[in-house]
Chains A and B, each alone.
Chain A
Amino acid sequence: MVKNPRAPKVNPIISISDLQFRYHPDSELILNIDSLVVQPGQSLFIQGPSGSGKTTLLNLLAGVLVPVQGEISLLSTQLSTLSASERDAFRSNHIGFIFQLFNLIPYLSVIENVTLPCQFSQRRAGRTQSRTESQSKSKALPQREAIRILTHLEMEPFIHRSVTELSVGQQQRVAAARALIGSPELIIADEPTSSLDAHQRDRFIELLFGEIRQTGSTLIFVSHDAALAKHFDQVVNINELNRDSALKSQ
């Protein structure tokens, strides 16, 4: 495990430099980030109130939005060099997402929801194989991997439930399993615990970290809840990160 952010020979998983973003050319800047570097295997906690540009930053990392200035590199790939559809493919290959609410597609089963990224990414479908026992080469690897992760997340009894019958806490675990399947390099979690009570929240964080430690994925965790910061290697406040936010919040 790389714990030292200044370890010299490893390429950073996220590298942001001189990033600026605004929605319209004549509107004010929403993000203005000098530099942000995250090393592989690290966990980063981005703390900030709502409306501080966290969601915009996530959409920029996802490649859904494009910065007006500056550069975002993920896994040494400059996102600006990719076309829109290449960014879509890149996202499905390398990033798993967990959102605050409504993470699941209601008409798909729990397993189908978890294996959804494998439908869009051959790479992640393929990577489920290395996690399951090497001798079993049956076709339903993503399904088996989904069951394995769900079991780790203590979701085994609910696998055959309809997703609409799951509690919010259970839904978030299914979402976490979906983000984790195929071991993407980067997991982005946007307020995943905001709808959970304190007990559920702690258990969720615990299970999530347990899985991430195994896959070696990098975790970006966005929340307004400063109490969670203690679990993470690296903590930034979006307002400190954002050069303009001091002006904006006044």
Chain B
Amino acid sequence: MRTLLQLALKSLLNRKFTLGLTWLSIGLSVMLLLGVERLRSEARESFASTASGTDLIVGARGSPTQILLFSVFNLGFPTKNIDFNTYVELAQLDATDWVIPLAMGDSHRGYRVVGTATHYFEHFRIRNREPLIFNQGSAFGLDQTFDAVIGAEVARKLNYSIGSEIIVAHGTGDISFIEHDEHPFTVTGILEPTGTPVDQLILVPLDGIAEMHHGFYGEDDHGHHHHHHGHDHAHDPLTGVLDGHNGNTGEVSLSALLIGLENRAAALSVQRYINEFPDEALTAVLPGLALQDLWSILGVIENTLLLITGFVVIVGLFGMLTTLLTSLNERRREMAILRSVGARPSTIFSLLVGEACIITVAGNALGLALLYLGLMMGQPILQSHMGIYLHLGLPSAHEWGLIGLITLLGLGIGIIPAWRIYRLSLADGVTPKL
């Protein structure tokens, strides 16, 4: 066995140029396949980890996928808004534990400004139900209007620290013609990097958004809102939340609500209740289901990519087959010598299969090495551009499975030249006919 392995290795080294190219092409194709797989699973994981604690997402009547995308993934915009009273009513339901309001539509230097309540930081969960952690500062207080909490990427890219001032522009995009510059926000908290779209958010109190828009439209009517709410603060479970708002929130229409339930089992009945909400046409989305819908759409693209990269690997392995087959004729002498010193035909067969196996395994190893090199280089780029956090962890069971499959395939392909040389060496015996 050791003899055989040594022979195979020395024989491979003897042909290191042609086989090196074969090795390289298999390595590159393996890297491509594993890279696509890694990106796919990381993207899924990243998406799934973005709203891990949220049981329902509510938006104005519309497509669940769209609601999911704009509410937690910073992709696209709501077409319609939700009335503030709906928020109040849903928050008062017995079934809801907490409701986070989200008001979108403003931006600062390309980053989304989202109006929300301070309990966002208490309830919003990422990844494996981990809470958001502050790197510096803290959440805005209940009575703060022009405080802002910024995501890690915003802080890093714009070089902001605690105390930096943010002037919010209406609409999203880098260049906006309407700026709310009379009402700058002050950074009071910076979040730890999460690898989720939260990194790209500027979170401000709903009051701030309301005040800012008031200021802009020249309205300075702070008087009418109390009866607008029309409910008794004393018995209100929202007291804590609403006390923080100075009342302008009544003017703010919301883009989406994130809901945490007392009992997750009630998700379907609450969803139906919201979908049939009498005052307003709403759509309640179960994030998990909406994600599945999204994946089923993207699945076609994913599978196409997988198919293509799979074929690239097969092409790489066929390159190996060609290289091994073309060398067979000149190796008949070698096999006759080995036969003459006592090698069995099965030894000759194993030698060739072993060579194919070594090339494939080495190709896999190269592919993995290239993959991790690529991941290390691509990690910061992907995180900042797509909010996808790539783990540099060990290959997953699925990836090992793919590697195993490729190795088996290489072994299977190795049988072709092995079988040919086996037949030839049976016919040649110790005297090759050349």
Contact = CB atoms under 8 A, between A and B. Distances in A.
Interface string A197-235: 000000000000000000000000000000000000000
B244 to A, nearest CB: 79
Nearest to B3: A119
A117 B14 contact: no
B338 to A, nearest CB: 8
A107 B10 contact: yes
A22 to B, nearest CB: 15
A97 B432 CA distance: 13
Interface residues of A, number: 29
Nearest to B335: A105
A111 B30 CA distance: 39
Interface stretch (B109-117, B140-148, B341-349): B341-349
B339 A121 contact: no
How big is the B interface, by class?
20 to 34
A59 B431 contact: yes
Most buried by B among A64, A84, A92, A120: A64
B130 to A, nearest CB: 57
B405 to A, nearest CB: 31
Interface in B1-31: 3, 10-11, 13-14
B399 interface: no
Contact of B430 (A59, A104, A107, A120): A59
A203 B333 CA distance: 26
B134 to A, nearest CB: 64
Contacts of B310: none
B191 to A, nearest CB: 60
A65 B428 CA distance: 10
A190 B431 CA distance: 9
Interface in B316-338: 333-334, 336-338
A237 interface: no
A64 B348 CA distance: 14
B429 interface: yes
Nearest to A121: B342
Contacts of A92: 341-343
A55 interface: yes
B431 A99 contact: yes
A67 B345 CA distance: 19
Given A59-B431, A104-B337, A105-B334, A120 B13 contact: no
A34 interface: no
B339 to A, nearest CB: 7
Main secondary structure of the interface of B (DSSP, over half): helix
B135 interface: no
A121 B341 CA distance: 8
A88 B338 CA distance: 11
Nearest to B433: A55
B239 interface: no
Contacts of A120: 3, 341-343
B333 A102 contact: yes
Contact of A103 (B3, B14, B337): B337
Most buried by B among A84, A99, A178: A99
A113 to B, nearest CB: 9
Interface string A88-111: 110111000101001111111000
Nearest to A65: B429
A91 B334 CA distance: 17
A116 interface: yes
Contacts of A102: 333, 337, 432
A58 interface: yes
A88 B13 CA distance: 27
Interface in B118-174: none
B41 interface: no
A153 interface: no
Contact of A97 (B10, B14, B334, B340): B340
Contact of B344 (A59, A84, A117): A84
Interface in A140-199: 178, 190
Most buried by A among B3, B336, B337, B340: B340
A84 B343 CA distance: 11
A107 B341 contact: no
B341 A178 contact: yes
A57 B84 CA distance: 101
Given A62-B429, A120-B342, A121-B341, 5 more contacts: A62-B430, A84-B344, A88-B344, A97-B430, A116-B337
Interface of A: 55, 58-59, 62, 64-65, 84-85, 88-89, 91-93, 97, 99, 102-108, 116-117, 119-121, 178, 190
18 contacts: A64-B429, A85-B344, A85-B346, A88-B339, A91-B340, A97-B340, A97-B341, A99-B431, A102-B333, A105-B337, A105-B338, A106-B14, A106-B334, A108-B10, A116-B341, A117-B341, A120-B3, A121-B342
Interface of B: 3, 10-11, 13-14, 333-334, 336-346, 429-432
